[in-house]
Structure 1
Amino acid sequence: MLEFSKQQRLLRRIEFTRTMDAGTKVVTPHLVLIGRRNDEALSKIGFIVSKKVGSAVIRNLVKRRLREIYRTRLHKPQGLDMVVIARGLAAEADFDEVARSFHSALDRLQSRLQRPASGGKTISPVQPLS
């Protein structure tokens, strides 16, 4: 599934704030990934690139890179809402560095969301798309 349709995106402010308020955070030098479980089969992702990262040209380049990294990921998680916040180093780094950072952050997020809940119950693992 190498597409990135509107059904796979967080589009409204309420979706972003809900994810950021109730999500689990993973920090890397290039980005911050915040994720939480949703009740849908697909995962949704949204990107935030502030003016601190650079000019409009740089911000759009970073967003295009992040979208392409997610779009070409072979094993996309299911049932997650994710917000990716680009940090300043994302503008200076090359594509491969940002891709490694994104993939490691997503793997760490998935492992954190698979941990047992505080009541001793295990949370069902996030399954990759086949």
Structure 2
Amino acid sequence: MDKIFRLRSNMEFKRVYSGGKNYWNRNLVLYVKKNNVGNTRVGYSITKKIGNSVVRNKIRRRMKEIYRLNFDSIRGNYDLIFIPKKNVVDISYKELESAMLHILKLAGVFISQSDSNG
């Protein structure tokens, strides 16, 4: 994923946290804020409460891959921050994928196949 599609600085994260809207489900929290950059950017915030670095990086890699595979179905001009909850450690890849797509639909930034056809 190119750098232009990622939230990178602490200030960018703080801007989304303070001015954005948050959505949640059993496994994730998602912060969403409209931006004027011209594309959707994403960030991942995984606390040490989740586990050691091996566990955190595994979760981050899974979330990045799910996002990458569904990138074309996400509306433009948003900043997104995904924050996994502690129980994400125990769920499968498919369950995490389902949770991420569900929360994106809740936030209204995911374009489902039925939206694009009609």
TM-score (norm 1): 0.80
Cα distance in 2 between the residues matched to 1:68 and 1:77: 18
Instruction: Give me the whole-angstrom Cα distance separating, in 1, the residues matched to 2:93 and 2:29.
Output: 16
Q: What corresponds to 2:47 in structure 1?
A: 50
Unaligned runs of 5+ in 1: 112-127
In 1: Cα distance, 2:93 partner to 2:17 partner:
25
User: Which one of the candidate residues 12, 15, 19 is aligned to 1:15?
Assistant: 12
Q: How does 1:81-120 map onto structure 2 within 5 Å?
A: 81-110=79-108
1:40 aligns with 2:5: no
RMSD: 1.6
SS at match of 1:82: strand
Give, as a single letter, the amino acid of the residue that structure 2 aligns with 1:12.
Answer: S
CA distance in 1, matches of 2:2, 2:27: 25
Q: Give the Cα–Cα distance (whole angstroms) in 2 for the partners of residues 91 and 8 of structure 1.
A: 26
Q: Which has the larger radius of gyration?
A: 1
- The corresponding residue for 2:113 is none
Q: 1:29 aligns to what SS in structure 2? A: coil
The answer for the alignment partner of 2:74 in structure 1 is 76
Aligned partner (choices 63, 66, 72) of residue 66 of structure 1:
63
Runs of 4 or more above 4 Å deviation: none
SS in 2 for 1:35: strand
Supply the distance in 2 between the matched residues of 1:99 and 1:53 (Cα, whole angstroms): 18
Of all paired residues, the percent bearing the same amino acid is 26
SS in 1 for 2:108: helix
Q: Give unmatched runs, 5+ long, in structure 2.
A: 110-115
Deviations 1:83-118 (A, max 9, x none): 11111111111111111111110111127xxxxxxx
TM-score by length of 2: 0.88
